[in-house]
Every structure is written in C-alpha cells, then in structure tokens.
Amino acid sequence: MHIAVLAGDGIGPEVTRQAVKALRAVAANGPQFDFTEAPIGDAAYDTTGDPLPEATAALAERADAVLFGAAGTYESDLRPPEQRGGHALLRLRKRMDLFANYRPVMAFPELIGASTLKREALEGVDLIVLRELTGDIYFGTPRGVHVENGERVGINTMRYTEGEIRRVAHAGFRAAATRRKKLCSVDKANVLETMALWREVVSEVGRDYPEVELTHLYVDAASMHLIRRPRDFDVIVTGNIFGDILSDAAAMLTGSIGMLPSASLNAEGRGLYEPVHGSAPDIAGKDIANPLASVLCGAMLLRHSLGQAERAERIETAVRRVLAEGYRTADIMEDGATRLGTEAMGDAVAREIARLAKA
Ligand code: NAD
Ligand code: IPM
Ligand code: MN
C-alpha cells in the first residue's frame, strides 16, 4: 500500500511526522506501508516555482491514499493565486475531483473541560460536517479584481451545477443512513439563487432516502444552532464556503482545531486526508502543535482508502487512551494534565498502539 505524504508548510511537517509514526506503529506486525514524500505549498514554490509541482500531483494521483499536512502562510496568501502555497491544495482537490470532504466532530469525554463551551452542551456530540469541496465561490467564474469607473472591484461567483449538488447530497444521505439517520442541509436559499437550487436538489435527492430525516437551515441560523444544541446534529451537508466556516466553529466542540481530521474523497473513493487546521505560523517550529488531527487523519485513511478498519480503530483507541492518561498538548492543556510537545505526543500514541497490538 502506497501512501503519498505531502507535509507542506508551517506545522504541516511536524504533525504529519506523528501521523506517519502512528501508521508505522500500527503496521509493525503485518503488511507495511510504503511512504513517499513530495513537496507542496510554499515549500514547493520556493524550490520549484510552483506550489503544486507536476511530480507531486502525479504522485498523489498514483498513490493508494494521500496524507496531507498544511499549505500556505500569511505572506504567500498575499501573492497572486498561482504563487500561493494554499492554492496548491485547491488545485489538487480539483484535479483529483475530491468533492466530498468529511469532517467528523466528536466531543472526546476527556477533553470536554478543554472547550470554551459548557459541559452540558457538549456531552455526546458526534456529528459530521460534509463539505462540498470542488465547487462554489471557490472556483466559480468570473472572478478577479478589475477597475470600473475609476475604482477597483473584486468579483467572485457562487456557482453550483445540479449535478455537483446531487452527488454531494447523495454522499450526505448515505452517510446519515449509516448513522442516526438525520441530515441537515445548510444553505442561504433565502438570498442566493445558487442556494435555492441547492435546497431544491437536496430535497429531490432526499426522496431516494425515505429512512433519513432531512431538515434545512440557513447558514446564519445553523452557526448558532451548532453552538447552542450541537448534540442534535448527525450529518450536516453544505457547500464549500459555508462548510469551511462551520467546521472551524465546530472544532471548538472538541476543544481544539488541533483535534479535527478530515477525508476528502472522489467518486472512485480515492482520498486525501487533511487536518481541518492550517499551517499555524504562530506556533510552527516550536514543537507545541497538536498532532492528533493528523494522527486521526491516518485512521481515516486506513478506514476509507485502504479498507483497514481494525488498524484504524487501533489508532483511534490509542488516541483516546493517551488522552485518558492525562497527556495534553498546549492547546488542550488543563489543570493536572501532563503537557507534551508534538513529538512526545506522537511517541505516546505510537507506544499505546504497540501496547494495543500486544493485548
Ligand atoms: P490555522 O488553522 O493555521 O490557525 C488558527 C489558530 O489555530 C492559530 O492560533 C493556530 O496556532 C491554532 N492551531 C491550528 N492548528 C493547530 C494545532 N494542530 N495545534 C494547536 N493549535 C493549532 O489558520 P490560520 O491562522 O487562519 O491560517 C494560517 C495559514 O494556513 C494561512 O496561510 C492559511 O491560508 C493556511 N491554511 C491552510 C490550510 C490547509 O492547508 N488545509 C487550512 C487553513 C488555513
Ligand atoms: C481548509 C482551508 C482551505 C480552504 C484553504 C487553505 C485554501 O481553510 O481546508 O479548510 O479554504 O478550503
Ligand atoms: Mn478552513
């Protein structure tokens, strides 16, 4: 099994290293993984002049799965798109047609105290934000900045075809059907034509899934309900931009954005696994970033791309045990816990995986 490792910028390499450590540990007795690293993001732009070199994109396409870290920095975010580290990720998502981005959000019992929200609201939270990832205002044209009547005008276009809406809606219903059978579609149908079409198509698709209860929320209200009554949500399906924003907010239900993994899949089930967080330039290179989002990406990769559910569970159990033993990185630190750096947290997870293998 061949895994492409695109670690990228900022904390990307630090956290991805811990995910690889966990994957190696889980494969210690049995079929091994073959890891190939390739440059992406600012790191790739600085050496090759392209944030997504052709060799990297080709490797990602060939691999059985892609483990991605983070791309972009505040400096490169100001450059033209083709020179931005973060833009490489958008291109790769589009090129591999990774339209379905699953962002699971769980309240780990051990971390409830680490959240800024109240315990009563958080206990039992278990939801997935399914974010459409290859359409919307991220990719619609016309776009750009031009001069009109002597002043600059910035333009982006929210755009969805009904086919794009339909396939992600199907993914949402299928996910809900295997869980608590509740799908909440989030849109802005009261203002935007694109989103009125979104609501119409999701409702049409819903007729194929009578066992799933479909509800609709406007994104403004959804952001409020997500914080006020997060336990009520099972699967949320939404467009690219709303999903981006809602999932960062939902991260606080787990206590830290450093806890949130995600899987970006295409119609053939090929996948790229990316933490929800970014390159975190403020903490990069200090060995303090939380690697658990990336480690949990490793578990999602095993389950969804390699069909290795047992190994995936072993990684997830190891993460839970490490938390139960009181080990914490700075972002989830609490009184009485033992603070670990990025590497040490990765080591603790790997140790626990080895212990589970012996048990
Ligand atoms: P960010 O997610 O990188 O950081 C937001 C905050 O969360 C920061 O305070 C950071 O220190 C903290 N944080 C993030 N991950 C953490 C972790 N694992 N452990 C502990 N704390 C963590 O978002 P941002 O600051 O808006 O963006 C930084 C750069 O990353 C920008 O250039 C942005 O474009 C890029 N970005 C990339 C991705 C990606 O590659 N998938 C995602 C988001 C942002
Ligand atoms: C994410 C990030 C990306 C996005 C950026 C880095 C392009 O915020 O994966 O959530 O907006 O999709
Ligand atoms: Mn984001």
pLDDT tens track for 102-147:
999 999 999 998 888 999 999 999 999 999 999 999 999 999 999 9
Residues 236 and 303 occupy one common structural domain: no
Catalytic (active site) residue 187: no
Query: Is the minimum distance from the CB of 89 to ligand 2 under 6 angstroms?
Result: yes
What is the distance in A from the centroid of ligand 1 to the CA of 131? 18
Q: Which of 229, 252, 275 is the C-terminal boundary of a domain?
A: 252
pTM above 0.95, yes or no: yes
Number of domains in the chain: 2
In this structure, is residue 266 part of a structural domain? yes
| Two tokens, residue 29 | 């007795």
CATH number of the domain encompassing residue 73: 3.40.718.10
Is the complex ipTM more than 0.95? yes
Same domain, yes or no, for 162 and 241? yes
Q: Which protein residue has the closest C-alpha to ligand 1 atom 44?
A: 278
Per-residue pLDDT tens digits for 7-16: 999 999 999 9
Query: Both 331 and 347 in a single domain?
Result: yes
Q: What is the rounded distance in angstroms from the CA atom of residue 22 to the CA atom of residue 13?
A: 14
pLDDT, residue 359, reads: 77
Annotation says 77 is catalytic = no
Residue 108 forms part of a structural domain = no
Q: Does residue 7 lie in a domain region?
A: yes
| Rounded-to-integer distance, Cα 197 and Cα 97, Å | 21
My answer on whether 67 and 93 are in the same domain is yes
- Read off the pLDDT of residues 27-83 as tens digits, 9 standing for 90 and up: 998 889 999 999 999 999 999 999 999 999 999 999 999 999 999 999 999 999 999
Q: Could you tell me if 242 and 267 lie in one domain? A: no
Cα distances from 304 to residues 15, 111, 231, 317, in angstroms, run 20, 26, 25, 17
44 shares its domain with 133: no
Ligand 2 pocket test: pick from 130, 244, 262 the residue with the most ligand atoms within 8 Å of its Cβ.
244
Is residue 35 located within the same domain as residue 91? Answer: yes
How many Å lie between the centroid of ligand 1 and the Cα of residue 279? 5
Does residue 276 share a domain with residue 174? no
Domain encompassing residue 190: 126-252
Regarding predicted confidence, which is higher, 99 or 357? 99
346: CA distance to ligand 1 center in Å?
19
